[in-house]
């Protein structure tokens, strides 16, 4: 895949280890859910290293008073793409319990692979927040591109996109359509199959998270 300045692919051994278990078809629904959350937390830590909105606060230690950098209240919104993105919300909430959550519902038409939007509810004031769009799977990139376009139409200016597994096709599509959005994927897989599934991938993330199949 071509190099993009707005794409980060994690090659961290701890994340890779967890992805191996996640891919395994024998991994239980409970363990799958826990792993998606854990990987999301590790990714969030890295993804917000640079530009998480902060402010200064005075803190009195037992010895003296100092000024300490803290994360600004109310500065972050998490936007999962339903359904599978829901599995990543707690992974961000562990680090930012006060983050507001917006929901964008999209499913892929199984024949055309085009995303269809069926739900959207966003927190008030989202346009001024750092918005973290989350979805475990970035396949053709259609769902991510449409969700980001929708958020931009609602005035969002500072958007990051986080996926656990990306296909080269989808990563390139989002990176090119939205050069101002940083795309983070924890691992880059080989390609898509004829049904738009990521290879080797992990199957259908929504079904594995919620036990629907």
In the complex, what is the shortest distance from the CB of residue 48 to ligand URA, in angstroms, rounded to a whole number? Answer: 25
**Contacted by 142, from ligand PRP, ligand URA, none: CB < 5 to 8 Å by type:** ligand PRP
Residue 102 or 196: the one with the smaller Cβ distance to ligand URA is: 196
Site string for ligand PRP, 161-180 (x = CB under 6 A): ---------x----------
**Contacted by 197, from ligand PRP, ligand URA, none: CB < 5 to 8 Å by type:** ligand URA
Residue 84 or 171: the one with the smaller Cβ distance to ligand URA is: 84
Contact 10, 183 (CB under 8 A): no
Q: Rounded distance, CA 97 to CA 107, Å?
A: 28
Instruction: Give 32: exposed, middle or buried? Use CB within 10 Å, 0-12, 13-18, 19+.
Output: buried
Would you name the residues annotated as active-site residues?
108, 112, 204, 207
Distances from the Cα of 125 to the Cαs of 89, 159, 163, in angstroms?
19, 14, 24
Distances from the Cα of 169 to the Cαs of 38, 139, 141, 162, 175, in angstroms?
26, 7, 7, 16, 10
Q: Point out which residues bind ligand URA (CB under 6 A).
A: 84, 137, 139, 196-198, 201, 204-206
Give the interface with ligand PRP as residue ranges (CB under 6 A).
Answer: 81-84, 106-108, 113, 115, 135-144, 170, 196, 204-206
């Amino acid at each position: 895949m071509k190099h993009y300045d707005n794409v980060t692919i994690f090659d961290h051994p701890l994340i890779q280890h967890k992805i191996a278990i996640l891919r395994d078809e024998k991994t239980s629904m409970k363990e799958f859910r826990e792993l998606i959350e854990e990987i999301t937390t590790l990714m969030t830590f890295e993804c917000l290293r640079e530009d998480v909105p902060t402010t200064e606060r005075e803190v009195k230690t037992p010895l003296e008073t100092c000024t300490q950098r803290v994360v600004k209240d109310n500065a972050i919104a998490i936007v999962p793409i339903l359904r599978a993105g829901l599995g990543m919300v707690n992974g961000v909430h562990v680090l930012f319990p006060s983050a507001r959550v917006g929901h964008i519902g999209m499913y892929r038409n199984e024949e055309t692979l085009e995303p269809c939007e069926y739900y959207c509810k966003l927190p008030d004031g989202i346009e001024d927040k750092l918005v973290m769009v989350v979805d475990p799977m970035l396949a053709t990139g259609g769902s991510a591109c449409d969700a980001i376009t929708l958020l931009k139409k609602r005035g969002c200016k500072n958007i990051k996109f986080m996926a656990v597994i990306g296909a080269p096709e989808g990563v390139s599509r989002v990176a090119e359509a939205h050069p101002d959005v940083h795309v983070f994927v924890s691992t880059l897989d080989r390609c898509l199959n004829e049904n738009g599934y990521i290879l080797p991938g992990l199957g259908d993330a929504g079904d594995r998270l919620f036990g629907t199949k």
